Structure 1
Amino acid sequence: MGGPSKRHARAEKKASGSGPGSSEGQQSSSNALTQRSTPRSIPRIDGNRDPVAIGGRIPVEYSKANDLKNISEFLGMAGWYVARGYAIPDSLPSRPPKFNNFGREISLTLNTYNVLQSPSTPVHQYDVAWGQSTDATKRILIKKIWNSKAVKSALGEPLNLWIYDGNKLAWSGKKLDREETRIQVDLDAEEAQEAIAAGRTPRARSSEKKNVHQLFVRLTRTVDFAHLNAFLTGHASWSADCIDTVNFLDHVMREGPSQKYTQIKKSFFQRGEQRFDLGQGIEAFKGVFSSLRPVLNDKKEKCLSVNVDVANGTFWRAQELSRAIAQAFNTTPAKFQADFVNAKRDWRHSMLRKDLSRFKRLGVTATHNKSNLTQWTIDEFVGLDCHEAKFNDPDDKTNTKQISVYQYYKSKYNIECTPRLPVVRMTKKIRKGPVYIPMEHLRIDANQRYNSKLSDKQTSEMIKFAVTLPPARWQAVENGVKLLDWNNDKYLRHYGIKISPTPSKVKARVLPSPTLQFGPSVPNGKPATVPEKDLIQGRWRLDGKRFIQPNTREITAWGVCVISGRGGLPKPVVEKFASEFIRVYESHGGRFAAHPKFQKKPFICEGNLARGGEMVADAYNACGNYFNMRPMFMMFIVNDRNVEVYRRIKKSCDCRFGVASQVVQSRHVGAAQAQYISNVCMKVNAKLGGCTSYAASTTLPKINPKMKSIPTMVIGADVSHPAPGAGSDQAASFAALTVSSDVTLTRYWAECNTNGNRVEMVTTHNINQHLGNMIKNWMTRVGNGQPPQRVLYIRDGVSEGQYAAVLEEEVRDMKSAFLTQGAKAVPKFTVAIAGKRHHVRFFPEGPGRDRNGNPLPGTLVETGVTHPFEFDFYLCSHVAIKGTARPIHYQVILNEGEWEGPEIQQFLFEHSYHYVRSTTPVSLHPAVYYAHLAADRSRAHLNESPVSSGKKEANAPKQASNTGSSSKQKVEIAPLIGMGNFLGLKEAMWFV
């Protein structure tokens, strides 16, 4: 990694001008909290975000560095290094020479289809550019120009079929006569000709502005398929030519379907598909996803393959805009008018304006003129109604007279607009002035994607719609293949591409299950174990089981706060639940110390939500006074799943009082079922220093007999970002780091903080402060003053284009943190990326499946869909309770610890049984799962809306960051409020 990293850092430093005399070198100390200690590298070019040219060099020699965002995914880590113009590092692990042969072999079908034939003749790649009068950001306009008769004629279509990526690149099998071709397109003239041919009267056009555009098509290179073939056969390494080829083939795959269906990235939705109503004006329907990638196929040969899967899309319902608003806000016309009048007092900062911003960039049709329906794009709702919104009167020759929207529609169309409703401003201007249209005369166009976050109710409905069992999902995949219709795709046929209609079938393995141990039923007895058949089926019961490690400190003083209001419980019901909780927890080994006066019973009080954060303080202080000692544990009984109430409770308990807490719902408390109480006990036990069970391996000692004698630390990390929608460009991202806290790797510490706005890599500050603190604890409490010899770092949530940044930034900072904490030698790092955002699914046959048709826990796939040369695999370690199981894609991008393939695969699988709050194995390694939980919980620790009068909380210093952010301006993100640690809460599993 050394060579590429240094060159990359030097190039960026030069490009950004961050030398001693630059403004970058004079950043404030608050900025430094979320900025990296050295210039950021690869995340700026991650395949999803617009990249920045580095040091003036243009990756892959495309016409602009911005074109790199259009290259295909699934290039592998080496492919992304080449895409950026850097040498492939020697440290990149290659696929192990031998496949895993542990466990038993099964057959399964993958939703992948091998490419049987690729083009044999060269294809010419062109750069597409536009004249100054064309706004290239308007995708609909660009598409209209490209599909114009003038362009098609100049490019020789339909005899010569062109492929266009919709942005800057186009391909043709036939070379144009000139190196650069200039094409002039008059869209108004073409539209008039079409109207005349159809017997209609052409629309009158303004003489001021002509709808004329210049298009420039320039030859840049030749795509030669010999390079990709040489790579796949092992005779050549990745090259820019390989990437050109994969990129071209990926776009050929999309060209035909994109002309027949609604395209969203690599998914296609049929316009006549049956809709499913999600509520609030949003609907869902199914489409098909397809993507091309190089793979090690089912015959263990290197080739290209197409992944086909179901795509579930959310769309705006095609209906009147006013009706959509009524549904979205669950309001009536009269109430919406009243809300608008109130919001106008401070429209700029009003919640109504913020909520209406979700309609921004939505395509609508104006319906006031039935004979001439016109399409527009919403810019925003303005704080003016039809009487207040004015524009230049089009009938005024002097262009000085203003006319209101109401007056214009009354005189022009004899329509009386509705007052006290915001008018809608469109993106397009007429005579350099704004276009206002009353919202009641707009209709939302069909098949427009809904990009904002779904509500809880919509999410629940979406899950019902999207979740299907394997037989139904496989039927949908086959329907998708029919929809793509490869045999009749004129573009595939034109370029000589053939795809197998038969899916890939591979030999997979079901890895051996570990021995799952619980605590002995009697002192000094043998650990109780779970029957093997339960492990294979992926579910077991806690009945009669004692936790392998009970709470380390006996519970003496604890309280139960019952939130009053609708659904609140009477005290006798709560007392009964508390008694059952004590009984069940003790049956699992939980430890209580009888109080001299109150025995084991908790203090029970009532909480009033109107008190805000003081409600928690009231309960905590009353409990402390009752027992005359600091409460060890607090339980809160809430009446519904209100996330704001939950976070309010957690914020006070975690940050103000440093006490472990558990929130339960009143309906479950009232039922007081033993199984529910056992589930609560697992969480409480972990928060108080205990552990549920331990997976003892009989397989790992066979793979690596020295494994137990090698001190090993597991680190997990996750960065979560704000949901898309209004305000997300100012909201915080959260970074969570977890570290194993014992030699059995069953318990974990976790620390979190804000991570700028949409900064994907964990910042240097967060690694130094939070991981550094946990490293120090590990060396003191686990390593006897010494660092571990091996570190397994499991990272979640990064795209393939960001793998290198994980190494060059996060791992670099982690190694530095070990040295800072006094380690004499840096541990050997092995880094695995855990990916779940993919479309690969397993459809096992015979004994390899459960009763629903899903794979059994431990199903491992190493061929058919994996990278031809790099160290990756798919592992399904869990049992799918609903729908079709989604395996986790693990890719090992660094292996200094020299983990063998079977060793890391078995390790990841067996540790899925270690998850402390579940009686099933989980899909992700617990280190990553805990990072998910901690990142989500840390949202409760935001330094805003203090839980009390909270002056000491509200004035925490802010940290600013625009590094890696999608925001155009600097965004100040305050760090989280620190957690209280009076009873060692930070060292417990507070996040479960």
Structure 2
Amino acid sequence: MAGPAKKRAQAEKKHSGSSNGSSSESRDPTQRSTPKSIPHLDGNRDPSISRIPIDYSVPTDLKNISDFLGLGGWYAARGLAIPGSLPQRPKKFNTYGKECGITLNTFNVVKTPTAVVHQYDLSYSGDALDYTKRVLLKKIWSSPTVKTALGHPDALWVWDTNKLAWSSKCLDRDDTRITVDLDEEEGRPTKPGARGNKHTIFLRHTRKVDFNHLTSFLEGKVSWTPDCIDTINFLDHVMREGPSQQYTQIKKSFFQRGEQRFDLGGGVEAFKGVFASLRPVLDDKFNKSLSVNVDVANGTFWRAQELTRALGQAFGCGPPQFSALYKNAIRDWKNSVLRKDLRRFKRVGVSSTHTPEPTQWTIDEFVNMDATQATFPDPDNRSKTISVAKYFKTKYNITCILGVPVVRMTKKIRKLPVYMPIDVLTIDANQRYNTKLSDTQTSNMIKFAVTLPKERWAAVQAGVRLLNWPNDPFLRHFGLEVNANPAKVKARVLPQPTVQFGSGSKEPTLTSKDMLAGRWRLDGRKFAMNNKDRPVKAWGVCAVQGRGSPPPQAVEAFFQKFIQIYEAHGGLISAHPEHGKKPWMGPGNLADGGELVAKVWNQTGNKYGIPPNLLFFIVNDRNVDVYRRIKKSCDIRFGVASQVLQSKHVMSASPQYISNVCMKVNAKLGGATCVAKSQLIPKIAPRSASIPTMVVGADVSHPAPGAASGEAASFAAITVSADPLFAKYWAEVQTNGNRVEMVTTSNIHQHFGYMAKNWMQRIGQGRAPQRVLYIRDGVSEGQYAAVLEEEVRDMKECFKKLGCKELPKFTVVIAGKRHHIRFFPEAGKGDRNGNPLPGTLVESGCTHPFEFDFYLCSHVAIKGTARPIHYQCILNEGEWLSAELQQFIFEHSYQYVRSTTPVSLHPAVYYAHLAADRSRAHLNENPVSSGKKESKAEPQSSTGSSKKNVEIAPLMPMMNARGLKEVMWYI
């Protein structure tokens, strides 16, 4: 039997670009305009096997590319000319601020191979129906027949687990085929009439790995070529081959078997491993070379245990309660919450324990039949069927648990489904848990994963010892040598801006002590911009009733303090002739559903005689469904600013908590907390302040992996600076297909276009900005080109439609946080936890050898090790100086409106995250608490990556009659 299947990845099919004759108006809103020049990757499915050599201009082969090649490397891989507009690394490093010694978790490659290495392309054929199953391919590759034919153990081979292999041995023929019968090798010949288990592996010699070409590239003598990419790809796989044979491998991370587990609850556990990745860098000696990034990997895995126990842990109940859940769900199984929740077990590998030799299976899904209802042809009498329960009782004397669903397996026997009772199955060890963690599991995972810099550095060093480079047979065989000592660089701590608050503040600017600590208090300070255009006039407070809801006296005491503190910060609350400044207060009942908000709206409006402009809701816990139901009504139906509070905070009524609430309320009513004034930019770029500039942020968030993610919406959020000081941002949100990574043309034209028009009318005095700084989050390196070719192109089209004769000059920066680079400052040079100080900038040791990128740590980590943001500039029409751009991004981290700390990411992108998350409440579906969702087939978006064609409905439009979209409604 095949072992447990792993989640496969497969590069998406190349978009044909053919037109069906429909007009752009009738085109589906998720459809990307054509033709497209950049092929896309989803990163979730593996490439299909074909009998052709690796060709990096073919989208399905791009999956083989290593990370960190930069935009130029990806253009070259696709067979496209590298654009002359690609910004190169500035000739001079940033010299502003203070120097600071930083140790990086990167380790320089000191010796690369010189001997000849042969690259082979692999393909497969035979009795299997699917040659993308990694477990099958591994069995074929590891079979004694194949090993002997390849010259094992004298010849060492490196295999990418799919369609590439390398060896220093050249096979006798350029085209070699090896046939293996896995059944025969395992000592159980194929039964007559059964499908065989014979497979042929084809090896085709495609090229010799060219190490000299890589050296010439790094020395700047030649440009990117597929040869360079081949070589880096080979070296990256050499680094992984040895560890992959000793440890459990997940992508570029390795987990040692027997490592101490940490129970996350719900049948899931976590344990630590080591991440390692090779890439070209500008090293700490300013040489263009290769380096290995080593970091801690935190993995989540299914607990190896009986399936019945795993189900009990997942649902927090025993067998009788699980049976009751099933009995309740069976009435509408297709739409039931239980069926949806059980889908997290899909593709989990299990072993059946009812036979002396356990057999491995892979779960397909739980079905709406118990062991008495699920039947199959009786092996002793093919003309009859037998139930699973009866078969197990007569054959194995096992009494199956009844009243619970049976499991259908992925494997079929004689083309018929295989059903198994849950009580004879155990979950196999070392299987990654891919589904989104629950709130409790997430909280436990954070406790497990968060470590201070000292502990993390010790873990990195333990990882280096685990990888054991000096004794790795593959590194030794191919002549690859890595320095076990880390790279040490001279970083800069950038000068801090002057952070200003409103006039009348006790301390109108932050003190140097606050700036160094990276956090401050609002006491005695007024907002830099208050709600003068939208004073609080008619406002209401609803305390949702239930266990833990606050008594009326506590609510009244909280809002007396709120009024006092909000006004102390400069917030405006208009006194009503009859009611004064006191809000309407009353209870609310969740059983009222959407009418809960309507009742609060009506009663508040009736009290004041005008529509409310601010509503508060006090809830008893962090229930996301309740939160989204409230936000959906406030944003969509009434167009009113709203603030949700937790009852425990209302009852404690801490002044600091109230100040935090005041910051959010102020932003929702048109204000901003503080403004960062640069002391440095006027010196290095004197004209900068006089150039009309727009800052744009964008993020696309996808459904969490696991149950129902194949039918769920992705959300695109775009933010645009709404004032000359870049303190406030408008935001527009919309669905973006299912796992479509690029913001679609229709979303940019409708939503960015709307905000661009607003900017021109309100800030540009009828003119477009001269510069646009576009900061894009959440795209992988392989998609950088598509940001330019599609999103920036569409934004320029928007300005053309708005009648701009001279288009703004775009500067595009990608902000990446999913990386493994960490900073470890010299003793006494970091903060009290050993993290870097805010403003720590690193431009060497871990950066690209030629392109313009840098790592910036602009925040103070509350706990754990700070993660810097990787910024890469991929277009610079606006001709920003490198130091100007770095300082601009750093200084704006102090302007985030709902925090009294600098934040890690530029606020334009942070706000896009918040807006994308809020947009989940705007879905056009049944009430969010019902758990029902419908999906229909439709043509696939060209930039999508899902396997199915899924219709994603647009969001419900926000009610903007009272100008909710003009303020920061998403804060």
Deviation at 1:203, TM superposition (A): 8.8
Select the residue among 590, 604, 608 that pairs with 2:589: 608
SS at match of 1:831: strand
Deviates more, 1:534-543 or 1:381-390: 381-390
Q: Is the 8 A contact 2:814 2:872 kept in 1?
A: yes
Matched with 2:8 is none
Distance 1:534 1:28, change over 3 A: closer
Q: Find the counterpart in structure 2 of residue 884 from structure 1.
A: 865
Residue of structure 1 in register with 2:6 after alignment: none
**How far apart, CA to CA, are the structure 2 residues paired with 1:203 and 1:220?**
35
Partner of 2:239, secondary structure, is helix
1:916 to 887, 890, 897: 897
Contact kept in structure 2, 1:67 and 1:168, CA below 8 Å: no
The CA distance in 1 between the partners of 2:685 and 2:850, in whole Å, is: 24
Tell whether 2:349 aligns with 1:388: no
Tell me the residue number matched to 1:145. 140
CA gap 1:432/1:592 in 2 versus in 1, 3 angstroms:
closer
Matching of residues 360-759 of structure 1 within 5 Å: 360-369=346-355, 371-396=356-381, 399-521=382-504, 528-552=508-532, 553-759=534-740
User: Which residue of structure 1 aligns with residue 175 of structure 2?
Assistant: 180
Tell me what 1:162 maps to: 157
1:320 deviation in Å?
0.1
Q: Distance in 2 between matches of 1:662 and 1:133?
A: 61
Which residue of 2 is the match for residue 18 of structure 1?
18
CA distance in 2, matches of 1:26, 1:695: 50
**What's the CA shift for 1:46?**
5.6
How far does the alpha carbon of each residue in 1:158-213 deviate from its partner, in whole angstroms, 9 at most, with x for none? 11100111111111111100111111112222222xxxxxxxxx699566333222
Amino acid at match of 1:771: F
Q: d(CA) in 2 for partners of 1:102 and 1:322?
A: 62
Tell me what 1:783 maps to.
764
* Aligned-partner Cα distance in 1 for 2:34–2:749: 14
Contact kept in structure 2, 1:60 and 1:85, CA below 8 Å = no
The TM-score normalised by the length of structure 1 is 0.93
Task: Report the Cα offset of residue 937 of structure 1.
Answer: 0.7
Q: 1:861-913: per-residue Cα shift (whole Å, max 9, x none)?
A: 00000000000000000000010000000000000000111010000000000
Task: Pick from 273, 282, 285 the counterpart of residue 287 of structure 1.
Answer: 273
Alignment of 1:306-385 (within 5 A): 306-369=292-355, 371-385=356-370
What residue in structure 1 maps to residue 208 of structure 2? 222
Contact 1:262 1:270 (C-alpha < 8 Å) held by counterparts:
yes
Deviations 1:17-55 (A, max 9, x none): 614xxxx334895642111222444352365556799xx
Tell me the equivalent position of 2:31: 35
In structure 2, what residue type is equivalent to 1:153?
Answer: T
Q: Which amino acid aligns with 1:980?
A: M
Secondary structure of 1:972's match?
coil
Deviation string, structure 1 residues 540-561 (Cα, Å, up to 9, x no partner): 1111111111112222211111
Alignment correspondent of 1:854: 835
CA distance, structure 2, for counterparts of residue 490 and residue 958 of structure 1: 51
TM-score by length of structure 2 reads: 0.95
CA-CA distance at 1:948 after TM superposition: 13
For residues 834 and 633 of structure 2, the distance between their equivalents in structure 1, rounded to whole angstroms, comes to 45
Q: Distance in 2 between matches of 1:296 and 1:338?
A: 61
Q: Which residue of 1 is the match for residue 755 of structure 2?
A: 774
Distance 1:484 1:592 in 2: 62
Q: State the distance in 2 between where 1:751 and 1:114 align.
A: 44
Deviations 1:577-614 (A, max 9, x none): 11110100111111122111111111111111111111
Residue deviations 1:463-488 (CA, integer Å, cap 9, x gap): 00000000000010011111111111
For the residues of structure 1 that align with 2:471 and 2:934, how far apart are their CA atoms?
65
Asked if residue 834 in structure 1 is aligned to residue 820 in structure 2, the reply is no
**SS of equivalent to 2:281:** strand
2:958 to 973, 976, 979: 979
Cα separation, 2, equivalents of 1:712 and 1:527: 30
**Partner of residue 230, structure 2:** 244
The answer to whether the Cα contact below 8 Å between 1:830 and 1:896 also exists between their aligned partners in 2 is: yes
State the match for 1:127 in structure 2: 121
Amino acid of the residue matched to residue 161 of structure 2? Answer: G
Deviation at 1:848, TM superposition (A): 2.7
Q: CA deviation at 1:515?
A: 0.6
Which residue identity lines up with residue 727 of structure 2 in the other structure?
T
CA contact (8 A) 2:573 2:581 kept: yes
**Deviation sequence 1:69-120 (CA, Å, 0-9, x none):** 1221111100000111111011100001100000000101000000011110
CA RMSD, Structure 1 to Structure 2 (Å): 2.4
Structure 1 distance, partners of 2:939, 2:195, is 44
Change (3 A) 1:854 1:948: closer
- The residue type paired with residue 301 of structure 2 is F
- Give, in whole Å, the separation in 1 of the partners of 2:691 and 2:58: 49
1:945 to partner: Cα distance: 2.0
CA gap of 1:947–1:330, structure 2 versus 1, over 3 A, is closer
Q: Is the 8 A contact 1:58 1:65 kept in 2?
A: no
One-letter code aligned to 2:33: S
Change (3 A) 1:277 1:957: closer
1:877 and 1:626 map into 2 onto residues whose CA distance is: 47
Question: Could you say what secondary structure the match of 1:560 adopts?
Answer: strand
C-alpha separation in 2, matches of 1:978 and 1:490: 61
How many residue pairs match? The answer is: 956
Superposition deviation, residue 423 in structure 1: 1.9
Distance 2:514 2:881 in 1: 28
8 Å contact from structure 1 (residues 934, 991) kept in 2: yes
- Cα deviations by residue, 1:782-803 (Å, 9 ceiling, x for unpaired): 1111111111000000000000
Please tell me the residue identity of whatever aligns with 1:840: I
Secondary structure of 2:408 counterpart: strand
The Cα offsets for residues 370-426 of structure 1, whole Å up to 9 and x where unpaired, read as x21222211222222222222222233xx3232222222222222222222222222
User: Residues of 2 paired with 1:13 and 1:220: CA distance?
Assistant: 24
Letter of the 2:925 counterpart: E
| Deviation larger for 683-692 or 38-47 | 38-47
CA contact (8 A) 1:46 1:69 kept: no
Are the equivalent residues in 1 in contact too, given 2:54–2:61 (CA < 8 A)? no
Q: What does the per-residue CA deviation read over 1:297-350, in whole Å, with 9 as the maximum and x for residues that have no partner?
A: 000000000000000000000000011011101122112223323433443443
1:276–1:284 contact (8 Å) kept in structure 2: yes
| Distance change >3 Å, CA 433–CA 652, structure 1 → 2 | closer
2:73 is the counterpart of 1:45: no
CA contact (8 A) 1:315 1:448 kept: yes
- Report if the CA contact (8 A) 1:277-1:284 is conserved: yes
Query: Using a 3 Å threshold, how does the CA distance of structure 1 residues 957 and 70 change in structure 2: closer, same or farther?
Result: closer
CA positional deviation for 1:16: 1.8
Contact 2:857 2:868 in 1 (8 A): yes
Rate the CA distance shift 1:981–1:269 in 2: closer, same or farther, 3 A.
same
Question: What secondary structure does 2:893 align onto?
Answer: helix
Distance 2:111 2:14 in 1: 45
**Structure 1 pair 426/63, CA: closer, same or farther in 2 (3 Å)?**
farther
Pick from 239, 260, 281 the counterpart of residue 253 of structure 1: 239
Q: Distance in 2 between matches of 1:366 and 1:748?
A: 57
